[in-house]
Structure 1
């Protein structure tokens, strides 16, 4: 291994890049990035995952390529937030609850345990960094990209759960990443698609948006990810936080005292790539104070980012001292987490801390399942009930179930989720399930209305991935309400209630994962007492 002063400029800059690729083995894209461009970080997406064994071999293969090329160990990361954002959904990696479900339990100990379980498993398959937890405070009902990825709208609650997750991941040798700094919760635009502004003054930002990040820093978080969001109270120029020196260096480094790794959100997102281009944005992010530059998808953009930063150093636009400081943070982290010691940069105290990390024995499968079911049971929230729950066992039940098939920039649908109708039928008979799409046409909704015209008990499950409840679902609920006392179950977004008339019963689950659906069926039949509390207000 090479000490910092033995690395070429090209090697130094390459270490500042974290890149994705498209294969389930070390394809030409990632091999070229590691060997020719010295890229020091890799991010996995679902496209890279066939099985846990395959992913373990892939991690070993990639580290082998880096070692053969004489490069530092790779920092391998993934977005495994839990709930609806899970890049690895294969047997061997526990599908832990998402943040809003955990927030609904009111118990950060559950969050700590989930992070410990998931951290052990990620480490065992060669992953070093989880791009989690989200510590954005979701106080905007129309937020299209955060939503249930947040622990809720109360900053103290978010801070407590975020700190618990950080402690859990890092106790298992996984770097936690608090995101998206300084806060993406109070937005109504998806920064994957366009520019976003949070207009609040500094006092408000300090009390709400920044509080969870302060607690994350106090908890010793290894990394913080930036938001492609404009904050006029901090940066008077119309510059997103990712590219603002006032935000990353002035606020995060100097005022808040963060000494860990600052990683950008992906520069290919439209809020950045459209107005700036990935190459120019990479330069500006380094100038602003970012240490790791994330370019997730396209080889052309990844190469352009590396070459642009190198050229900026050679022409004097970026001081090599800035590169060295960023690289020192990265190498120090790699020494502590990846076992690389030959840097001359890590103090004995840092080594002792890293070696003292307590990797506990893996819990039994049954123990983990029991824990997850307890959490799911504690998260389900009955917001309103006019005597429709529990279900009457003497009457037929019609369940209208949305089949989730769409993809978003952030998450992907569960392909193996048991439906509520299936779960209920295992508990009792006389269940009829009617499936619809999440974007039903009026004709599709009218067919459902005809099928349930004589039904005595009707459960409508709504599913909103972003923003407003789809108009076809809204139409169906309103029409059903004219002739039925409805039980409405919000399978994801609790804010669905804001767009429909108050039904006879309203239940929130925050996600449609298999464990949650099973617990939901028990709540509806009265075999389980719901104890979840709303993490957001439904004004």
Structure 2
């Protein structure tokens, strides 16, 4: 196979294998490790995380520098990828439009809005030099105990997720960005996080076809470029006696995805450094087995030693005859085809943006859809909020970011939004995700003399401390309590006695401004539940005004 940089010079085995890897690195400028991978191995792509991002303009400069390193070393242009899902999983914030996440968009029930959001996202990503987005999630979140998907899903039905997801794919790809739907065959009905464990889905093949697989089938039919695998075991698709995650399963990636579903695009692994792989067979052997299973692109997001070991393990597997070189060539051809298809291969270096990437029009669209998403689930009091010195806001905050939890600065809280919109001072206190009994007692004590309190929860389903706090405040005589779920909407099930409850699906500043408008009576809560909370609060529910 010839090198695109020089069609008369064939790619070496290492260069071909290098094309099958997407790697991450530390820093906001190219470091020694990523430079070594690009120059020495002809790396296929890079992935950005928050650690790489200062703002949108800096990211555009970084993309240009990385592409220049590849071009100057005689290698082909890079995939530059990011997990920019919107909402709670948004690596790029400053200078980019902060768009609502999937479940918020699901609550707005607007496929046209999803398409418009996705086009905005794609346009801005391309301006930043990002040509591949690991989004949207097509997981169906029908398990309220799922710790990793939740609001990253559009909702709990195959029809809703399929409809919203295909509009998101089209918006990205219309802007020249490779859309990567995830996590195949479906990570929604799990009670474990594959970043830390190896989840198992026990359902029958009939159930999988009816639910989990349906959005992916629709995306394939509509021409999605790429599909990301899940590090999840599916009992109905087991291809050996031992538990094999989908990422390493020939039966799932080749027999099901390639042969039965006829997917011709790129198969991308989720990060091989996640513990479901790294603490099992290990990253290097995982890379070899993923290729054997049918993957085209291997994601190794963090450590240089693991990245080098994985590349060398695949090279060694080819040299030993374990993997035929023709198998590598199949994936390299798909990589080159999609780099050409989306204008990445052979294109001139894109000019750096001359002005702001996020525009007033983009921001207005984000505000409109966010306001349509806020859902009034329950309100038996029906009293207007009074912003005065007898109001207290309790903000539950993420204090340490993870792959699926972003830290919100204290300038973007509900208290700040209420103060800005009302022109009044708002007293706000902060608590971590798992408050102790002592912290709960202190917060309850702070409500002495308070007439109204608002608690913004964050996945209280998984926090006994948050639940104790809300229950104690709900029992406090003379206190009107409002609870707003700042992430998963299922929190109400932990404290059904709460009289006023809103679902916001995220605690980003945009969502908090939308909630503040509703609480102050400037807007009506127009969102509908995209998931079922209980028999009393089914999918599609909202309390009418």
> TM-score, normalization: structure 2?
0.92
- Asked if 1:56 corresponds to 2:60, the answer is yes
TM-fit CA distance, 1:522: 1.4
Which of 224, 236, 244 aligns to 2:227? It is 224
| Pair 417,152 (structure 1): closer, same or farther in 2 beyond 3 Å | farther
Matched, 1:507 2:502: yes
The structure 2 residue matched to 1:261, chosen from 252, 257, 266, is 266
* Structure-2 residue corresponding to 1:181: 184
Question: Which of residues 380, 388, 392 in structure 2 aligns to 1:386?
Answer: 380
Match of 2:541 in 1: none
The Cα shift of 1:416 comes to 5.6
Q: 1:143-166, CA deviations, whole angstroms, 9 ceiling, x for partnerless residues? A: 111111110111110111110100
Equivalent residue runs for 1:468-483 within 5 Å: 468-483=461-476
**1:432: which partner in 2?**
427
- TM-score between both structures, scaled by the size of structure 1: 0.93
Please tell me whether the aligned partners of residues 397 and 430 of structure 1 are also in contact (alpha carbons under 8 angstroms): no
1:7-406 paired onto structure 2 within 5 Å: 7-91=11-95, 93-237=96-240, 238-340=243-345, 365-392=359-386, 396-406=390-400
What's the counterpart of residue 412 of structure 1? 406
Between the aligned partners of 2:192 and 2:208, the Cα distance in structure 1 is 19
Question: How far did 1:3 drift?
Answer: 4.2
SS in 1 for 2:461: coil
Q: Distance in 2 between matches of 1:469 and 1:239?
A: 28
Contact kept? 2:398, 2:406, Cα under 8 Å? no
Which piece of structure 1 moves more, 421-430 or 196-205? 421-430
Deviation at 1:403, TM superposition (A): 3.0
CA RMSD of aligned residues (A): 1.9
SS at the partner of 2:57?
helix
1:233 partner SS: helix
Report how far residue 389 of structure 1 moved.
4.3
SS at structure 1 position matched to 2:287: helix
C-alpha contact 1:134 1:150 (8 A) present in aligned 2? yes
User: Structure 1 38/431 Cα, relative in aligned 2: closer, same or farther at 3 Å?
Assistant: closer
Paired with 1:184 and 1:440, the residues of 2 have a C-alpha distance of 29
- Verify the 8 A CA contact 2:484 2:501 in the aligned structure 1: yes
- Once the 2 structures are TM-superposed, how far is the Cα of residue 415 of structure 1 from its aligned partner? 2.3
Q: CA deviation at 1:236?
A: 4.0
Give the CA deviation at 1:53. Answer: 2.1
Structure 1 residues 363 and 433: alpha-carbon distance in aligned structure 2, compared to 1, 3 A threshold: closer
User: Residue 412 of structure 2 aligns to a residue in which SS?
Assistant: coil
Q: Which residue of structure 1 lines up, in the alignment, with residue 451 of structure 2?
A: 456
On the 8 A contact 1:396/1:431 being kept in 2, the answer is no
Task: Say which is worse superposed, 472-481 or 437-446, in terms of deviation.
Answer: 437-446
The question of whether the paired residues in 2 share the 8 Å contact of 1:417 and 1:513 is answered with no
Distance in 2 (CA, whole Å) between partners of 1:221 and 1:193 is 29
CA contact (8 A) 2:124 2:358 kept: no
Query: In structure 2, what is the Cα distance between the partners aligned to 1:46 and 1:399?
Result: 28
Distance 1:3 1:182, change over 3 A: farther
User: In the TM superposition, what is the alpha-carbon distance from 1:448 to its structure 2 partner?
Assistant: 1.5
Stretches of structure 2 that go unaligned for 5 or more consecutive residues are: 348-354, 535-545
Q: 1:439 Cα shift? A: 2.1
In the alignment, structure 1 segments of 5+ residues that lack a partner are 343-360
Aligned length: 518
CA distance in structure 2 between the partners assigned to 1:514 and 1:231 by the alignment: 38
2:263 is paired with a residue of what secondary structure?
A: coil
Give the Cα–Cα distance (whole angstroms) in 2 for the partners of residues 278 and 226 of structure 1.
15
* Secondary structure of the structure 1 residue equivalent to 2:126: helix
1:470 offset after TM fit, Å? 1.6
1:357 aligns with none
Q: Is the 8 A contact 2:397 2:432 kept in 1?
A: yes
In the alignment, is the contact (CA less than 8 A) between 1:478 and 1:501 conserved in 2? Answer: no
Secondary structure of the 1:383 match is strand
